[in-house]
Amino acid sequence: MSLPDASPDNAARCGPFFVVLNAGSGRHNSDEQQALIARVFAEGGREFEFLLIDDPARINAVARRAVELAQSRQGVVVAAGGDGTINAVASVVLPSGCPFGVLPQGTFNYFGRVHGIPQDTAAATRALLGASMEAVQAGQVNGRLFLVNASLGLYPQLLEDREAWKAQLGRSRLVAFLSGIATVLQSRKQLHLQIESGGKAVALRTPTLFVGNNHLQLSRVGIDAEQTQAVEQGQLAAIVVRPIGTLALFGLLMRGLLGQLGEAENIDSFSFRRLTVTPRGLKRIKVATDGEIAWMRPPLVFEIAAQPLLLLVPAPADRVEVA
């Protein structure tokens, strides 16, 4: 008697989907989204089960339960939510070796978009039915995963302020833009960093250090092709802002919105596989990973994760190409 195929490839093709659904992501009604996802999976003849996140503090516990089910039943863990939800679930999935699917429901959805995953929930759900598995690069900082970006300094403050504005005014790109302007106009801090990569060390001052793991986001803000290509070829890209005043920072924000950041004289960028960053005089520092803020103890080690994420990517006919 032959044993059933328990490989990740087989799980991706015909295993059950265990959907971790964040009821608070994006602008969608979670009950309607759940019913829609269920209908598409049922019509496609695939087993599925929902694991709902009713409290953000329980997201890791819910993701661990999804992984346990996927491992025991040779299935796929699916994250339905924005980049932060996807990051949290992927952090649990990565060491398990389980296949991972995504139903983007956030505002920007850079991770889903860069892999051709439709932004419409029904289309993304249908795409999972015919998807194939692909090994996708993950970044880490002090062991914490990031799929899109990680940062310290001004950028985490921008994210914190943006969430505060969204809590009052709702989620939209306009609210994100206005909150960004307000943060930049109030910014005064400079970080003193010692950075080391490839055996070379340098000291610098900067209001922010940004590390990108998503070539679509980098190209959208206008970072040069050399760095975006490096990310596509298995590296990470660092962006450092030189010490500048408030008006110059505002100018950089506008350049980023216009896709011209790489042309700015006050920007330095480089690619790497491992970068060690030590902030002077700080015992701990705020670090943002895919929009989520955490306190970390230096030194900060940014690197490519040793293990790739086994992502379900749409078949060519289901892919949504981005300009």
d(CA 125, CA 286): 35
- State the virtual CA torsion across 11, 14, 16, 18 in degrees, nearest 10: 60
Pick 42 or 172 by higher pLDDT. Answer: 42
Query: Other C-beta atoms within 10 Å of 22: how many?
Result: 24
DSSP letter string over 190-232? Answer: -EEEEEEETTEEEEEEESEEEEE--HHHHHHTT--HHHHHHHH
The upper half-sphere exposure of residue 120, i.e. CA atoms within 13 Å in the direction of its Cβ, equals 8
Report the range of poorest mean pLDDT among 27-36, 163-172, 229-238, 291-300.
163-172
Q: Are 197 and 275 contacting, i.e. CB atoms less than 8 angstroms apart?
A: yes
Report the range of poorest mean pLDDT among 68-82, 151-165, 275-289.
151-165
Pick 243 or 153 by higher pLDDT. Answer: 153
pLDDT at 3 over 50: no
pLDDT of residue 56: 86
pLDDT at 184 over 60: no
pLDDT at 170 over 80: no
**The residue type at 229:** Q
Report the range of poorest mean pLDDT among 34-38, 81-85, 209-213.
81-85
Strand 76-81 versus strand 100-104 pairing type = parallel
Phi, psi of 165 (to 5 degrees): -65, -40
Q: Are 117 and 138 contacting, i.e. CB atoms less than 8 angstroms apart?
A: no
**The residue type at 63:** A
Report the range of poorest mean pLDDT among 99-108, 120-129, 171-180, 245-254.
245-254
Report the range of poorest mean pLDDT among 79-93, 201-215, 245-259.
245-259
pLDDT category, 250, cuts 50, 70, 90? Answer: low
pLDDT category, 149, cuts 50, 70, 90? Answer: very high
d(CA 163, CA 172): 11
For the segment 136-154, the average pLDDT, to the nearest whole number, is: 95
Residue in the block written with tokens 């802002």: 241
Task: Write out pLDDT tens, residues 152-168.
Answer: 987 777 777 666 666 66
When the pLDDT of each residue in the chain is averaged and rounded to a whole number, the result is 86
CA angle 260, 263, 264 (to 5 degrees): 100
Q: Are 56 and 102 contacting, i.e. CB atoms less than 8 angstroms apart?
A: no
d(CA 165, CA 138): 30
Query: Other C-beta atoms within 10 Å of 165: how many?
Result: 20
According to DSSP, the residues that pair with 20 across neighbouring strands are 51, 79
